[in-house]
Structure 1
Amino acid sequence: MGLTEQAYALSESMLAEPLPRRWAHSLGVAKRAAGLRLIAGRDADVLEAAAVLHDVGYSPSIATTGFHPLDGARFLRDQEAFDDRVVRLVAHHSCALLEAEERGLRDDLVGEFELERPELVDALIYCDMTTTPDGGHTTPAERLDEIVSRYGPDTIVGRFIQRAAPEIHAAAGRVDERMATASTG
């Protein structure tokens, strides 16, 4: 079984039944990642695998800290011996370092998981932040508004996502630029 097939099967087994909406979102994020193959090149499978697995840490069977990027990355590393690059992308997806700071888990995240290449980090941010909770397409601005509305502006998630907004918009802009350049070149 290839990397992406393994990732889809694992994500489905962890999310589809207990968290069907989260599973739909993960499928939508993976679909967006597949659409970036032109700029992902040889890293396309790594990006798509990370995309479908990025929220696996929400699974009730592995959620221990309440911080899904760390819980998911630890599970993928320790229980599944998953590809290191995928694990690092899951650990740091969508500006997770900022949320880790809000939760007092920054040292854990940084100490256990190195950052992946910036182009892949940007691509995963783009995929996550252009996908609705139900797996549909949206804009980063609409997605950020939805997250703040869902969690509330004064919650950990609300505070972190508002702090992350400039970097999320910048990452999405960089991906859009790379796609435009690749499609005209």
Structure 2
Amino acid sequence: MAIGWAYDLAKELLSETLPRRWAHTQGVATCARRLGPVMGERAEVLEAAAVLHDIGYAPPLVHTGFHPLDGARHLLAACVADDRVVRLVANHSFALLEADERGLQAELANEFPLLDDPLLVDALVYCDMTTTPDGERTTSQKRVAEILGRYGEDSVVGRFIRRAAPEIHESVGRVQAAASELGIVL
């Protein structure tokens, strides 16, 4: 699968209107490339999902206000992405928990069932949750704290991230362990 189209689409949607989101996206994609040896034949699926995971923030795509769902719906309607990529975008970083906070959990789960590939799901969580809003590397603990600070503990995102934090940290740990087993330092 060639993924140049994914970079082109994400750049078109994010680079001018949401430059900080574009910086984060590029950092997440760089992280995904580093995980290539861990992912093997699924490396390009991960990288495509990484570069597309936040396109739902782009103003022309905002319909529900829930970026995983809006981004995945756009990809599905455009018929440009592998089903695994679409489902990863829809469900990235424990989106079902945030969907629950927004009253969209059934909608998300019915339209985009969670991918049955735990390492691929964990890898996208790892990439997203170890990358700052400016595209730099961080720890999942610092990233969760940054999100809480930015949105506030009692906001929809704040409530979601507090619920998701233990699972985020576990996902990150599983990816680090998988890389370590292969002798890869992340």
User: What's the TM-score once normalised by structure 1's chain length?
Assistant: 0.97
| CA shift digits 1:126-174 (9 cap, x unpaired) | 0000000000000000000000000000000000000000000000000
Report the CA distance between 1:81 and its aligned residue: 3.4
The equivalent of 1:95 in structure 2 is: 94
2:150 matched residue in structure 1: 150
2:110 alignment counterpart? 111
Contact 1:29 1:52 in 2 (8 A): yes
* 1:183 counterpart SS class: coil
The corresponding residue for 2:11 is 12
Q: Any residues of structure 2 matched to 1:128-147 within 5 Å, and which?
A: 128-147=128-147
The residue number in structure 2 matching 1:70 is: 69
CA shift, 1:118, in A, is 1.0
- Give the partner amino acid of 1:12: K
Tell me which residue corresponds to 1:28. Answer: 27
Report the 3-state secondary structure (helix = DSSP H, G, I; strand = E; otherwise coil) of the residue aligned with 2:60: coil
Q: How many Å separate the matches in 2 of 1:65 and 1:11?
A: 19
Q: Which runs of 4+ in 1 moved over 4 A?
A: none
Root-mean-square deviation (Å): 0.9
Identical pairs, percent: 58
Structure 2 distance, partners of 1:75, 1:183, is 38
The SS at the match of 2:149 is: helix
SS in 1 for 2:113: coil
Q: Tell me by how many angstroms 1:80 deviates.
A: 4.0
| Cα deviations by residue, 1:21-52 (Å, 9 ceiling, x for unpaired) | 00000000000000001111000000000000
Moved more, 112-121 or 164-173: 112-121
The aligned counterpart of 1:159 is 159
Measured after TM superposition, the shift of residue 79 of structure 1 is 2.2
Give 2:177's aligned residue.
Answer: 177
Q: Which amino acid aligns with 1:30?
A: A
Q: Flag structure 2 segments of 5+ consecutive residues without an equivalent.
A: none
The whole-number CA distance in structure 2 between the counterparts of 1:165 and 1:65 is: 24
Distance in 2 (CA, whole Å) between partners of 1:130 and 1:26 is 12
Residue 124 of structure 2: aligned partner: 124
> Which residue of 1 is the match for residue 48 of structure 2?
49
Conserved? CA contact 1:3–1:46, under 8 Å: no
State the TM-score, normalizing by the size of structure 2: 0.96
Structure 1: segments with no counterpart, 5+ residues: none
